């Protein structure tokens, strides 16, 4: 998605209303992006829950595996 700058020239008596409308459009865009992100996170949670419900991996083994993965990522990135 690309950002678009829009310049409007309006009579002085309409400037305040034009600014309010511009702010409303920005607020609406932010709300839509926020809702989209929330939906994405919720879908990811559901997917992980579905995958994990079929797993035969014990909680202890899953924790050990996650620690190995974190260590590998940290080493790769020099952390």
CA dist., res. 29 & res. 22, Å (int): 11
* Structural domain includes residue 7: no
CA dist., res. 17 & res. 59, Å (int): 58
Number of domains in the chain: 1
* Structural domain includes residue 2: no
- For the chain, the first-to-last Cα distance in angstroms comes to 33
Q: Radius of gyration of the chain from Cα atoms? A: 24
* Structural domain includes residue 4: no
* Structural domain includes residue 6: no
CA dist., res. 13 & res. 4, Å (int): 25
pLDDT band at 64 (very low <50, low <70, confident <90, very high): very high
Q: What is the pLDDT of residues 15-58, one digit of tens each?
A: 888 778 777 778 788 888 888 999 999 999 999 888 878 878 88
The reply to whether the predicted model has a pTM over 0.75 is: no
* Structural domain includes residue 5: no
* Structural domain includes residue 19: yes
Domain that holds residue 26: 12-76
pLDDT attached to residue 78: 86
């Amino acid at each position: 998605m690309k950002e678009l700058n829009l310049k409007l020239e309006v009579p002085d008596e309409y400037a305040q209303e034009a600014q309010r409308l511009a702010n409303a459009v920005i607020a609406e865009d932010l709300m839509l992006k926020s809702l989209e992100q929330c939906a994405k996170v919720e879908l990811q949670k559901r997917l992980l829950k579905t995958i994990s419900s079929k797993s035969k991996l014990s909680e202890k083994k899953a924790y050990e595996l996650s620690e190995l993965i974190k260590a590998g990522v940290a080493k790769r990135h020099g952390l």
